[in-house]
Chains A and B, each alone.
Chain A
Amino acid sequence: MLYSKSSLHNPFAVRDKLFSLDFILLFSVLLLGIISIFAQYSSNGGEWGPLPINHAIRFLIFFSFFILISFINVNLWNRFSFLIFIILILLLIAVKFFGLQSQGSRRWINLFVFILQPSELMKVGIILFLANYYHRTSSSDVNKIKYLLIPVIAIFIPFTLVMTQPDLGTALLILFSGLIITWLAGVRWKIFAYLSLLALVLAPVAISFLKPYQKSRILSFLNPNLDPLGAGYQIIQSKIAVGSGGLFGKGFLNGSQAYLDFLPEKHTDFIFTLYAEEFGFFGSILMVFLYFLITYRIVHIGNITRSIFGKLFCYGFSTAFFIYVTVNMSMVLGLLPIVGAPLPILSYGGSSMLAIMFGLGIVMSCHVHKNYSGS
């Protein structure tokens, strides 16, 4: 085939590929990245420190990585998806044994070059794996028990591994990412209904396995004033920060809630709160719009991609991406309980950024190689 000859070593091909990038997606991500650097700068008290500098460097590296991945033929990702998935599973298992512990949970692994949080990568890994799986599965087989078994196992293993780190937020995001692909692939409503019923029945059992802090988070979400200085503190302070931003915000570097340390985790999970406080309603709506634009572009790329793998990955990733964003925002706006879920690109954290850029890279690769329809 024509496209299989194209490679990075061919300068003309590289130039062609460069022009076939989706620039709306590219610039949206770049703009978000620039905003994120300013937000990190602000969260560091308005000065350069290790955190904003790290973030800026990471963004530049991973943004280049994103473009680089998009040049690699999407077929390659399709073929290696199983391998990537297995490596991620192994990494998650390695975390269980050699993981670094922090604040009572074991989520990170030291790879000597950098510290990695494999669960973040798994959020994309599961989409990759299932997209490949349904790419290979005939639509008539999708609803057969035999063919359902592998997705269930593929979701269950990473979910359990992450859940027991413990990291409820990421585990749920992995679960949802997986379920979305199976659903898009055509698994019947009925099966999801049964699964939901099963989940409902098992919920009391699951709750008994929750750590006390996880329970208190859910309780304090239901009523933040139950313990305003304890578990409810984050939600209350975050709402105050967002609300006090008003229409136009308090101005860049002027967010009193963030500056005076009322806001917890302001460079990670609560970065949107800081942004919303400083830039107000208009700034927040602009941010929501940027995320919406990215999601929309990913769906658009899925629409024009001919391969099933590409379509499933784009649709799946766009939905997962959308879920990451909305879960984080709902959380800081007090619509969902506080579960550790970073805001894509904006939050500090290398693994999360790597995972997002990796996913975006594959999406972009689908755009660059849109005429590829699978082997």
Chain B
Amino acid sequence: MLIFNPSNIASKTRTISRRMFLVNCFKAVVLIGIAGRLTALQVTESRKYKSLSDKNRFRETKISPPRGIIKDYFGNEIASNKKIYQLHVVPENTPNIDKLFVRVKSLINLTDQRIFFLKKKIARQKVWESIIISDNLTWSEFSRLNLFLHELQGAQPVVSIARFYKDNSSAHAIGYVSEISAKDLRNKKYLAELNIAGIAIGKVGLEASLDQDMLGVPGYLRYEVNAFGKRIKQVSTYEGVKGKTYRTTFDLEVQKTAAQALENVSGAVCVMDIYNGDIVSMVSSPNFNPNSFVHGVKKEEWEEIKSNIDKPMINKAVSGLYPPGSTIKTLTALSALENDVTSPNLRIKCKGYIDFYGERFHCWKKKGHGVLNLKGAIKRSCDVYFYEVSRKLGVDKLAETARKFGLGKKVLAGFNEEKAGVVPNTKWKLNQIGKNWYLGETLHAGIGQGYFLSTPLQLCLMTAQLANGGFKIKPRIVVDEKVEVNSLQKYLDYKKENPNAKQGGIVQNNFNPEPLFRNQENINFVKNAMFAASNEPGGTSYGSRHKDKKFMFAGKTGSSQIKRFTEAQREAETKQADITYKERDHAWFIAFTPVEDPKYAISVLVEHGGSGSSSAAPVAKKVIKKVIERHEIRSAVSNNKLSENI
């Protein structure tokens, strides 16, 4: 055959070899390409792909470290952590989830609603992710579960820790923690960085304002997952750093006594150390059980709290705003003396009312007080006398003194719920209401009515600053060991030992006192008048006095009008007890104690309590007794720095 002749074969071979050479060249190019790609991936960019590979395989779960504890001044835990018992289930490990629920339901308290919710949640998540069936079991439930655990395949009893509050007396001041919400995440930056699902965070009170530091540094569990997200093995763990523990200035015993004294009324009590501003007690009533919120408040309980007209969730000590009433008369008198518009000897006759500018202003006492001097007017709380004084003084000077003593601005730093209140003056009215000040309003302001609004804590600070001789103090709740707080005390001690020491110079530099007065005699005058009001017959709080010198206090009553008395009511001499609860006056009482050597100031507010003498002063009496009883141990702690061992 022709095709197999040698020349044909030779020419074919030539063609094939030539073309094969080209193919081989092409192969070489491709091989270089592949080797280049391998070099790029495995040598040049290997670091990038290694990290991508690690990103694929490692997952981290954040673990929240134990929350910082809040202690009182003596080291007793107010907000603590306790062990809680939970039941977790991994759906993957259970042969039949429905049967498991039925069995678990027979052992612990589990509602059908909750089961329905859990099943929905299980359907949404991966089968190997564990789910919390019950987050707070009683010990008996927990032990029952452990006993029958062999029947509950896939169920896992877990011991965890959660916030616990021993009693409700400090509920408002301490606040509570609850599960993080979307709103919290939006409002608080540090939470977004924290990124722990379902963590309990502080919602109000100190729990909220100290939240960031009390959360601590979260730890993590790092584990390897497969492509479907299933955990294969744990790689590493980091425990995190425990949250910061805080010591407060509160005395848990006083807190309890104050809460008890306010048990059946709506109101607030504040107690303050007059030299260093330590807030010994800050209680609002009615209170609530902060533990209810830790695991999510139950609907019925929440409804009950919401429907309570006395608003248990409001911290009345710092966010309740009330006209200060007659308690302001201490400052009206002081302001008038300091501004030389009156003298203690000015005598005015009270006949139950006074007419100014064509308007009649009534005294609370219809029959009138007769002729009074300034001290008598404070002691008996005569309105007519103070109408006259404040008319002479003018509202702007009064406002200046009131502001100086701490009214109209926040007392604490960083306490979220605190409100500033209002100290009215002519400028304020023009700015806020857009109208000019009427002279008649000055008279109302002089007896603490009208636009005046203050919190119980502000009045407590005012009283403290009067009681310590008129020096500025900085109230605090949280103890910071680094800050020297006793300089005022030392200054006063120094002055007692060296009565001739001059102001300024070394004294000023060492102790740096900030006097709020022009003439300290005026302060002493007001203090004496307050003493008279509580301890001399005819004084407004004479009935609630302590006879024992140890507990003796000097105070001033007050009542803030909710609704102006009608002429008819005035004529009929209507008693506060006879009008509807919501329209009754709020009752105030402010005091310092002991009178010999004042140490503490107190303010008491009883909402709709009628008069200060009948409802607020008795509360103060009870609390003061406790405060004085606790004084020795308290000063021992602060002097010996016992705190360091606590």
Binds B, one of A6-14, A65-73, A80-88, A135-143: A135-143
A308 touches B39 (CB 8 A): no
Binds A, one of B125-133, B221-229, B243-251, B625-633: B221-229
Assuming A240-B53, A246-B50, is B41 touching A333 (CB within 8 A)?
yes
Residues from chain B with a CB closer than 8 A to the CB of A322 are 27, 30
Q: Decide if A329 is an interface residue (CB 8 Å cutoff).
A: yes
Shortest distance from the beta carbon of B56 to any chain A beta carbon, whole Å: 5
Q: Decide if B42 is an interface residue (CB 8 Å cutoff).
A: yes
B1-24 residues at the A interface, CB under 8 angstroms: 2-4, 8-9, 11-13, 15-17, 19-20, 23-24
Q: Decide if B546 is an interface residue (CB 8 Å cutoff).
A: no
Q: Which of B31, B43, B49 contacts A288 (CB 8 A)?
A: B31
Assuming A137-B3, A299-B20, is B42 touching A281 (CB within 8 A)?
yes
Assuming A186-B16, A247-B42, A311-B13, is B227 touching A261 (CB within 8 A)?
yes
Q: Decide if B360 is an interface residue (CB 8 Å cutoff).
A: no
Q: Which residue of B lies closest to A183 (CB)?
A: B19
Q: Decide if B48 is an interface residue (CB 8 Å cutoff).
A: yes
Residues from chain A with a CB closer than 8 A to the CB of B232 are 260
A244 touches B3 (CB 8 A): no
Residues from chain B with a CB closer than 8 A to the CB of A64 are none
Give the complex CA separation of A329 and B35 in angstroms: 10
B49 touches A243 (CB 8 A): yes
B23 touches A244 (CB 8 A): no
A326 touches B8 (CB 8 A): no
Residues from chain B with a CB closer than 8 A to the CB of A242 are 38, 41-42, 49
Q: Decide if A245 is an interface residue (CB 8 Å cutoff).
A: yes
* 0/1 interface trace, chain A 252-270, chain B, CB 8 Å (1 if under): 0000110111100000000
Give the complex CA separation of A23 and B12 in angstroms: 29
A354-375 residues at the B interface, CB under 8 angstroms: 373-375
Residue in A247, A262, A302 whose Cβ sees the most chain B Cβ within 10 Å = A262
Assuming A184-B19, A184-B20, A311-B16, is B50 touching A243 (CB within 8 A)?
yes
Give the complex CA separation of A20 and B38 in angstroms: 37
Q: Which of B3, B24, B53 contacts A138 (CB 8 A)?
A: B3
Residues from chain B with a CB closer than 8 A to the CB of A257 are 53, 56-57
Shortest distance from the beta carbon of B375 to any chain A beta carbon, whole Å: 84
A335 touches B33 (CB 8 A): yes
B224 touches A260 (CB 8 A): yes
Q: Decide if A341 is an interface residue (CB 8 Å cutoff).
A: no
Assuming A243-B46, A245-B46, is B33 touching A288 (CB within 8 A)?
no
Residues from chain A with a CB closer than 8 A to the CB of B12 are 134, 139, 185-186, 308
Residues from chain B with a CB closer than 8 A to the CB of A334 are 37
Shortest distance from the beta carbon of B102 to any chain A beta carbon, whole Å: 35
Give the complex CA separation of A345 and B331 in angstroms: 100
* 0/1 interface trace, chain B 30-65, chain A, CB 8 Å (1 if under): 110111011101110110111011101100000000
Assuming A260-B56, A288-B35, A319-B23, is B9 touching A239 (CB within 8 A)?
no
Residues from chain A with a CB closer than 8 A to the CB of B45 are 243
Shortest distance from the beta carbon of A317 to any chain B beta carbon, whole Å: 12
A302 touches B20 (CB 8 A): yes
Shortest distance from the beta carbon of B366 to any chain A beta carbon, whole Å: 84
Q: Which of B8, B27, B41, B226 contacts A295 (CB 8 A)?
A: B27
B259-286 residues at the A interface, CB under 8 angstroms: none
Q: Which residue of B lies closest to A311 (CB)?
A: B16
* 0/1 interface trace, chain B 196-222, chain A, CB 8 Å (1 if under): 000000000000000000000000000
B23 touches A315 (CB 8 A): yes
Q: Which of B23, B31, B39, B48 contacts A281 (CB 8 A)?
A: B39
Give the complex CA separation of A244 and B57 in angstroms: 12
Q: Which of A185, A261, A330, A374 contacts B228 (CB 8 A)?
A: A261
Residues from chain B with a CB closer than 8 A to the CB of A261 are 226-228
Give the complex CA separation of A2 and B34 in angstroms: 46
Shortest distance from the beta carbon of A276 to any chain B beta carbon, whole Å: 7
Residues from chain B with a CB closer than 8 A to the CB of A246 are 42-43, 46, 50
A260 touches B42 (CB 8 A): no
Give the complex CA separation of A93 and B339 in angstroms: 116
A139 touches B11 (CB 8 A): yes
Give the complex CA separation of A269 and B298 in angstroms: 57
Chain B: interface residue total (CB-CB under 8 A): 43
Give the complex CA separation of A333 and B30 in angstroms: 13
A260 touches B226 (CB 8 A): yes
B43 touches A247 (CB 8 A): yes
Residues from chain A with a CB closer than 8 A to the CB of B35 are 285, 288
Shortest distance from the beta carbon of A103 to any chain B beta carbon, whole Å: 19
Number of A-B residue pairs at CB separation under 8 A: 137
B305-336 residues at the A interface, CB under 8 angstroms: none
Q: Which of B15, B49, B53, B228 contacts A186 (CB 8 A)?
A: B15
Residues from chain B with a CB closer than 8 A to the CB of A303 are 17
A282-299 residues at the B interface, CB under 8 angstroms: 284-285, 288, 292, 295, 299
Residues from chain A with a CB closer than 8 A to the CB of B50 are 243-244, 246
Assuming A186-B15, A244-B50, A245-B46, is B31 touching A299 (CB within 8 A)?
no
Give the complex CA separation of A261 and B56 in angstroms: 10
Q: Which residue of A lies closest to B58 (CB)?
A: A256
Residues from chain B with a CB closer than 8 A to the CB of A237 are 56
Give the complex CA separation of A330 and B34 in angstroms: 7
A335 touches B37 (CB 8 A): yes
Residues from chain A with a CB closer than 8 A to the CB of B48 are 243
Residues from chain A with a CB closer than 8 A to the CB of B227 are 260-262
Residues from chain A with a CB closer than 8 A to the CB of B226 are 259-262
B3 touches A136 (CB 8 A): yes
Assuming A139-B15, A281-B42, is B3 touching A319 (CB within 8 A)?
no
Give the complex CA separation of A180 and B19 in angstroms: 10
Give the complex CA separation of A174 and B33 in angstroms: 23
Q: Decide if A175 is an interface residue (CB 8 Å cutoff).
A: no
* 0/1 interface trace, chain B 147-166, chain A, CB 8 Å (1 if under): 00000000000000000000
Residues from chain B with a CB closer than 8 A to the CB of A183 are 19
Give the complex CA separation of A184 and B225 in angstroms: 52
A260 touches B38 (CB 8 A): no
Give the complex CA separation of A265 and B46 in angstroms: 23
Shortest distance from the beta carbon of B639 to any chain A beta carbon, whole Å: 63
Give the complex CA separation of A299 and B21 in angstroms: 10
Residues from chain A with a CB closer than 8 A to the CB of B225 are 260
Shortest distance from the beta carbon of A264 to any chain B beta carbon, whole Å: 9
Give the complex CA separation of A207 and B17 in angstroms: 36
Q: Which residue of A lies closest to B38 (CB)?
A: A284
Residue in A239, A243, A257, A326 whose Cβ sees the most chain B Cβ within 10 Å = A243
Residues from chain A with a CB closer than 8 A to the CB of B54 are 244
Give the complex CA separation of A303 and B20 in angstroms: 10
Q: Which of B4, B24, B46, B52 contacts A299 (CB 8 A)?
A: B24
B53 touches A244 (CB 8 A): yes
Q: Decide if A125 is an interface residue (CB 8 Å cutoff).
A: no
Give the complex CA separation of A240 and B16 in angstroms: 42
Give the complex CA separation of A242 and B37 in angstroms: 10
Q: Decide if A280 is an interface residue (CB 8 Å cutoff).
A: yes
A138 touches B2 (CB 8 A): yes
Q: Decide if A241 is an interface residue (CB 8 Å cutoff).
A: yes
A residues with a Cβ closer than 8 A to B are 134, 136-139, 180, 183-186, 237, 239-247, 256-257, 259-262, 276, 280-281, 284-285, 288, 292, 295, 299, 302-303, 308, 311-312, 315, 319, 322, 326, 329-330, 333-335, 373-375
B residues with a Cβ closer than 8 A to A are 2-4, 8-9, 11-13, 15-17, 19-20, 23-24, 27, 30-31, 33-35, 37-39, 41-43, 45-46, 48-50, 52-54, 56-57, 224-228, 232
7 smallest beta-carbon distances between A and B, as pairs:
A243-B49, A244-B53, A281-B42, A261-B227, A260-B226, A186-B15, A246-B46
What are 9 A-B residue pairs whose CB atoms fall within 8 Å in the complex?
A: A239-B49, A243-B45, A243-B48, A257-B53, A259-B226, A312-B16, A319-B27, A322-B30, A326-B34
